[in-house]
A and B are shown apart, each in its own frame.
Chain A
């Protein structure tokens, strides 16, 4: 595998009151891989995502995107660098249609910069992205307000919003949660295709089985600390991980 690092975190810590949500976490994210992050509830996975994407400022530690230090940048600046995220609970714009939901990222300065202002009609580009992610172009779905969508479509819309920004790295915060088995089965090939297109993916997930199917490497967190990092097959055998999840000794 190509060992170019797209994201490097060094000694990240964050406390909320007396709770150490994230404690001295370091990791590398290599170009083109899928890195899975698992851990019990409250182990600091989502906080880690929030820190990387600038929504929460870390107490300690630095994060580099390539050579550039990104700790201290605001969310809109980090997303402008091509590192985008989905939210655990989908955050659509309920009053706007799916197409208009995507007009927002297409209006961003990153897209204006990368396309040199020659994007064309944003609605048409939005339709293309939606079709790629599983909205039928000729159906009414892309034109219905987002408030009418099911969880499965909302998660797709989340992913579509990320893709509209033409990212090199997507951080997915529990993209499978709240989805039915058939919706997850539909989502897996979409994620595989993203990886084939050269996008680096970091997945925070509770669905261990599906994650192990997709991920190249898995990092395990417990009580804010990184307790293991290895290929999925080794993680599945690891005693430390079993102990964290099941409490057995």
Chain B
């Protein structure tokens, strides 16, 4: 180590405007209001105009897919960082949601407007019932079980040749056009991101966060933690099943790929990139990773190599994630001081 770094260190100080806009003082000036609202407005407006600025329809399609991955990432972040349930059940949710919606549509010809809500609620109940026996388990054990379920379901469908078997069922109803596809799911993402953020700061959400911090102490406080975890998983699986049902109608096809491992793994990557525990982070992470993985298609088989390298680099060099990094830059400045 050279002497210069030993005598100086970096100091982080809150920006003046951050200090001046704390609490109720935020509304005392226009600058204050702008400073407080800017990140939120940028996120909302950015999401809403994103489909308008991309060049082709193929890219708009990628944005819809990114939206669905964003929902799954949101679920992962909520369950992991706010309830302490490491849930790798993304593929389980999308599979169950997609198959319910697809079956209702192809067998009875029920229109999309009903199949997606039914799949969301029905799928959430089915997923939660399956995950219920594992809820008393902690950490990695729950993760393993939630990861195994989609494999189990896919094999059962394959082996029994039910619900279209290996080939799946084609010819499901699709959305009228790309704009409906886009602007149906984008507001839902915004609503859910801020809705969940609100929820985890309400008293109910405080109990969930307490369960993550120390479940034994919550048990000793006359609170049935399994019941609270059940409600959290129900919410998470509802969002996941919605994404699955949406996906099935997006492609007009339901098949075993709805249970693909990607739906479980991608949300983790998006959360790492965006920053866990921020809720906004995983959404942004999904909007970075989904287009990135499309762009890497140009490299053919090397795509996975580049993708892995980029992810590894992000994890090694930026462990905090994108959103916490931006938050820090926005609220604080850094300077070198003599020690």
User: Are A and B a genuine interacting pair, yes or no?
Assistant: yes
How many positions in chain A have a CB within 8 Å of any CB in the partner chain?
Answer: 32
Contact A96 B210 (CB under 8 A): yes
- A165–B219 CA distance with the chains assembled, in angstroms: 12
If the complex has contacts A107-B204, A161-B217, are A93 and B209 also in contact, measured as CB distance less than 8 A? yes
Q: Is A144 an interface residue (CB 8 A)?
A: no
Query: Which residues on the A side are within 8 Å of B220 (C-beta)?
Result: 53, 55, 75-76, 79, 84-85, 87, 91, 161
Closest to A91 in B: B217
Complex interface bits, A68-83 against B, C-beta within 8 A gives 1, otherwise 0: 0000001111011000
**How many of B's residues come within 8 Å of A, CB to CB?**
19
Does A94 belong to the interface (CB within 8 Å)? yes
B216's closest neighbor in chain A, by CB?
A91
Task: Flag whether B222 is at the interface (Cβ < 8 A).
Answer: yes
Bound: A150/B77 CA distance, A:
30
Residues of B contacting A: mostly: helix
User: Is the Cβ of A107 less than 8 Å from the Cβ of B203?
Assistant: yes
What is the number of contacts between chain A and chain B, taking CB atoms within 8 Å? 85
Q: How far is the CB of B225 from chain A (nearest CB, A)?
A: 7
Chain B residues within 8 Å of A80, by CB: 222
Say whether A91 contacts B222, CB under 8 Å: no
Task: Say which residue of B212, B216, B225 sits within 8 Å of A87 (CB atoms).
Answer: B216
CA distance A82 to B90 in the complex (A): 40
Residues of A contacting B218 with CB < 8 Å?
A: 104
Q: How far is the CA of A217 from the CA of B123 in the complex (A)?
A: 58
A76 near B216 with CB under 8 A, answer no
* Residues of chain B within 8 A of A79, CB atoms compared: 219-222
Name the B residues within 8 Å of A34 (CB-CB): none
B207 interface hit (Cβ, 8 Å) = yes
Of A76, A95, A110, A111, which contacts B219 at CB under 8 A?
Answer: A76
CA distance A169 to B304 in the complex (A): 61
**A160 CB to nearest chain B CB (Å):** 11
Whether the Cβ atoms of A107 and B209 lie closer than 8 Å is no
In the complex, which residues of chain A have a beta carbon less than 8 angstroms from the beta carbon of B207?
103-104, 107
10 cross-chain CB contacts under 8 A: A74-B219, A79-B222, A91-B217, A92-B214, A93-B209, A94-B213, A95-B213, A100-B206, A107-B206, A109-B223
Give chain B's interface residues, CB within 8 Å of chain A. Answer: 203-204, 206-207, 209-210, 212-214, 216-225
Q: Which 10 residue pairs are nearest across A and B when measured between Cβ atoms?
A: A93-B213, A108-B222, A91-B217, A105-B221, A79-B222, A75-B219, A80-B222, A93-B210, A110-B222, A104-B210
